[in-house]
Structure 1
Amino acid sequence: MPTLRALECLVAVLDAGSITEAAAALHMSQPALSHQLAALEREIGAPVLERLPRGVRATVVGRAVAADARAALAAAQRVVSTGRATARGAGGHVRLACAESMTAGLLAPVLRTWLRRNPAVGLSLTETTSADELARLIDAGETDVAIGPRPTRFTGAVELIGVEEIVAVLPPGHPLAERKLITFEQLRDEPLVHYHPDNGLAAWLDAEAARHQVTLTAAVRTRQAGTAARLAAAGLGVALVPTTALGGGAVPPIRRLRPGVTRDLVCLTATPADVLVRRFIAEVVRRGVPVPAAVATALE
């Protein structure tokens, strides 16, 4: 396959009508330019230039390939221009994946700032309910940055955003609302708004409860943490909910667990050297893990 340098030499000679002038324009020696042209002719299997007493001109083959040679050089220049524009935030597309419980509370503020500062950069978002699914999307090359709890297994780059607390959301008037802290033992016989097995929170919370010799009882199951909080507020049972899934408005009675239950929130990527990926992750980490003011007040 001909090199871009060989095509550049051909176009320069055709434009100048002279090997000497083309070599000067490309800051090459005449032998080096002639070597590139000879390599191109060997690749094609026919001469592309006819040597004249004064200068050169294209052969029939040379005229036939000239337009494509110019197009290839223009395309190569667009590759450079697009790459440079993307690196400075003037183009490109970043594929994001996020744990659904964090989309509104953690990711949305980052997206608002990012889109205002980088309006030419496209974003796409995939939501999941499993940290291991986030890792799979990265490993499969289907997303550039994944935001969520730390997966059980991942070999790519991991950057810590912060630590998130799991709290108990109580139905209005629930007896446990009189307590400042709630233990797993006190949840032993409580009907819970629990999570569907597809949601990684289900197995993780069951394992946390088992560490305290408690088996959680599900009255109803949902795939989404935000829905669990709303069902608890509607009186269907106690829900154990990450703080990022709680809205910033009025919140139902919420209490901390004793001992506290927390989890790391991380950014995953397979391309940490990518300029746009690195900048996006830096913005997520800079903002950290938010706790809505109403939630913070309720937990005081």
Structure 2
Amino acid sequence: MTTLRALECLVALVDHGSVTRAAASLRISQPALSHQIAALERELGTAVAERTGRGVQVTAAGLAVAEEARVSLAAAHRAVRIGLQIAAGAKGTLRIACAETMTAWVLVPVLRRWRSSHSGVAIELSEHANSDQMVELLSSGRVDLAIGPRPSGTHEYLDVLGEEEVVVVASPGHAFSKELAVRFEDLSGEPFVHFTVGNGLAEWIDGLAAQHEVVLDPVVRTRSPRTAAQLAAAGMGVTVVPVSALPYRPPGVVRRLDPLVRRGVVVMRASTSNSLATTFADDLVRRGISGAEAVP
């Protein structure tokens, strides 16, 4: 199979008209260039250059091959350039999966900087309600990076960003409005705005209830923690949500749990060989989430 080096030698020979100048332009020896030309001729079964009394004359076959070779060489150089840009984090596509409550809270500050510092990088973002599902997307190669609560299973390439507080939300007239904090046991018997089966937060809250030996009374279920907070504020019941689900001025009454309850927030990568994912993950780790877990 003809090599790009052999084609490069032929193009140099066409451009410079002599073996000496062609070899010098490629910074190789004359015998090395002649060896490449000879290998190309064996591959083609015909001469691409002939020696004459005035030097080297490229044949019609050689000129035709050189014209097509320029296209291949340009494509090869472009491929190398793109590879270098991707390795440097300047170009490519980064596929991110994020817990839906954390997109604005964790991602936006870093994405805003990347728009100016990595303008050649395209971002594909998907939002999810379950960290274990995001791990599956990572494992299957459908995303490069995932941000959210710690999954139930461990992940090989995982960095901790910090912790977020989990709080109780109720309507303004609820008895919880008179308390500074709410014990988890106080949720027993309260109409509860819960989460749909399969939602990672639903499983986590059920586990927390089991630890406190509390039986929750779900009156409505929703996929979205933001919707749960709005329903609780409207008097549909009380709910438990992470602070990342609350707007800047949350409706209703927001109270801390006593004792405080927090959950870890992590960034996961499919591999360490993806330089874009590694650079983005490093930026997230450097920023962290300190201060963002404060209750409004």
Structure 1 length normalisation: TM-score? Answer: 0.89
Please tell me the residue identity of whatever aligns with 2:69. A
Deviations 1:188-244 (A, max 9, x none): 211211111131111111112112222322111111111111111111111110111
How far off its partner does 1:32 sit?
Answer: 1.6
Deviations 1:78-132 (A, max 9, x none): 1233334445554333222111011122222222232233333322211111101
Please tell me the residue identity of whatever aligns with 2:231. L
Match of 1:296 in 2: 294
With over 3 angstroms needed to count, the CA separation of the structure-2 counterparts of 1:225 and 1:280, relative to structure 1, is: same
With over 3 angstroms needed to count, the CA separation of the structure-2 counterparts of 1:189 and 1:243, relative to structure 1, is: same
1:48 aligns with 2:44: no
1:63 aligns with 2:63: yes
Please tell me the residue identity of whatever aligns with 1:238. V
Aligned length: 296
Structure 2 length normalisation: TM-score? Answer: 0.90
Please tell me the residue identity of whatever aligns with 1:35. H
How far off its partner does 1:290 sit?
Answer: 6.0
Q: Are the aligned partners of 1:244 and 1:290 in contact in 2 as well (CA < 8 Å)?
A: no
Q: Are the aligned partners of 1:94 and 1:121 in contact in 2 as well (CA < 8 Å)?
A: yes
The correspondence of residues 66-85 of structure 1 with structure 2, limited to 5 A, is: 66-85=66-85
Match of 2:231 in 1: 231
Match of 1:97 in 2: 97
Provide the rounded CA distance (Å) in 1 between the counterparts of 2:192 and 2:224: 14
Match of 1:210 in 2: 210
The 3-state SS of whatever aligns with 2:70 is helix
Match of 2:279 in 1: 279
Higher mean C-alpha deviation, range 90-99 or range 123-132? 90-99
How far off its partner does 1:265 sit?
Answer: 0.9
Match of 1:158 in 2: 158
Match of 2:3 in 1: 3
Q: Are the aligned partners of 2:180 and 2:256 in contact in 1 as well (CA < 8 Å)?
A: yes
How far off its partner does 1:250 sit?
Answer: 4.1
Higher mean C-alpha deviation, range 97-106 or range 46-55? 46-55
Q: Are the aligned partners of 2:165 and 2:295 in contact in 1 as well (CA < 8 Å)?
A: no
Unaligned runs of 5+ in 2: none
Provide the rounded CA distance (Å) in 1 between the counterparts of 2:236 and 2:67: 71
Provide the rounded CA distance (Å) in 1 between the counterparts of 2:194 and 2:42: 71
Match of 2:172 in 1: 172
